[in-house]
Amino acid sequence: MNNNIIIVRGGGDIATGSIHRLFSAGFPVIALESERPSAIRRQVSFCEAVYDGRKTVEGVTAIKAENAEEALEMISKGFVPVIPDKKGESIKKIKPRALVDAVIAKKNIGTSIDMAPLVIALGPGFTAGKDAHFVIETMRGHNLGRIIEKGGALPNTGVPGNIAGHTADRVIYSKEKGIFKSEKSIGDGVKKGDVIAHIDASPVYASIDGIIRGMIRDGYAVNEGFKIADIDPRPREYENCFTISDKARCIAGSVLELVCREINNERNV
């Protein structure tokens, strides 16, 4: 079993989609995260296990592991281990069959093509054949999920995907440095101008009408310009706040395809 271990760097909502798909297909998966994850879509992000000890998303449970040895033990019990290991020091110890960089940092912050027999990178900042064996397109649109064998993904535009005619206005960023204190919860309905949180004593207002799709963890220390919340303008989409997104599932399908292709190619050699 250990020879088929997949390591996924990242535990946010996009990474969670790939982790969930790989685990559901029968692969043992280990996630590596930072010591202070900053996911917005926390209800569907395995990285929350770093704070709470465990996190269940659509029937799959992730549990915090302190090291590689603990992680291997948790795999044998049917869990997805999440190791706080931003630098990826566990990779050399575990020697995974494949490595997926799903940090979505819009740049390469420490993944190299020699880290595993198969290295897959999600989104811009990587070059297929140089930084990773394959890159997967993460920008919404016709090419979402496309497997790139040469070159890289489309550059980051800085504009969030369009949902019901809303793009940049549905995402809320901190206007100052301070401690985030939520006044609303993920899934709550809001009207434009409602106070949804405070940063220290300064109020944070809802930018549009809708439901809170994502919100950073209460008590998180943020800097100016930090992404802190995401509002979905479609109130009828309440359940979507608690399930893996179409975007994450599309990308996950391409990740699984590449992992299965690698294994089948080895069998045919």
pLDDT digits (tens, 9 = 90+) for 131-181: 999 999 999 999 999 999 999 999 987 777 777 777 788 999 999 999 999
How far is Cα 54 from Cα 74, in angstroms, rounded to an integer?
12
Residues 93-106, mean pLDDT to the nearest whole number? 96
pLDDT digits (tens, 9 = 90+) for 179-213: 999 999 999 999 999 999 999 999 999 999 999 99
pLDDT digits (tens, 9 = 90+) for 223-237: 999 999 999 999 888
pLDDT reported for residue 219: 96
How far is Cα 135 from Cα 191, in angstroms, rounded to an integer?
39
pLDDT reported for residue 1: 43
**Which residue type occupies 186?**
I
pLDDT reported for residue 269: 55
How far is Cα 154 from Cα 126, in angstroms, rounded to an integer?
10
pLDDT reported for residue 242: 96
**Which residue type occupies 252?**
A
| Residues with Cβ within 8 Å of residue 144, at least 6 apart in sequence | 137, 138, 247, 250, 251
Full set of structural domains in the chain with CATH? 2-156+246-268 (3.40.50), 168-233 (2.40.50.100)
**Which residue type occupies 171?**
V
- The H-or-E segment that residue 23 falls in is helix 13-24
Query: Residue 107: pLDDT above 70?
Result: yes
pLDDT reported for residue 165: 79
pLDDT reported for residue 158: 76
* Four-point Cα dihedral 166, 228, 55, 51, nearest 10: 170
pLDDT reported for residue 159: 73
How far is Cα 244 from Cα 22, in angstroms, rounded to an integer?
14
Residues 9-37, mean pLDDT to the nearest whole number? 97
Residues 55-65, mean pLDDT to the nearest whole number? 98
Q: Which alpha helices (DSSP H) does 25-160 contain, by range?
A: 49-52, 68-76, 90-94
The backbone region for 217, taken as left when phi is positive above 0, alpha when psi lies in -120 to 50, beta otherwise, is: beta
Residues 236-246, mean pLDDT to the nearest whole number? 93
Closest CA to 51 of 184, 204, 216, 245: 216
Please state the pTM of the whole predicted model: 0.94
Paired tokens of 219: 């008590």
- φ, ψ dihedrals at 251, nearest 5°: -65, -40
Query: What are the residues facing 128 on neighbouring strands?
Result: 132, 151
How far is Cα 169 from Cα 185, in angstroms, rounded to an integer?
19
Lowest mean pLDDT among 66-70, 96-100, 135-139, 167-171: 167-171
Largest CA distance in the chain: 63
Closest CA to 256 of 22, 16, 100, 46: 22
How far is Cα 101 from Cα 126, in angstroms, rounded to an integer?
10
pLDDT reported for residue 255: 98
Q: What is the mean pLDDT of the chain?
A: 94
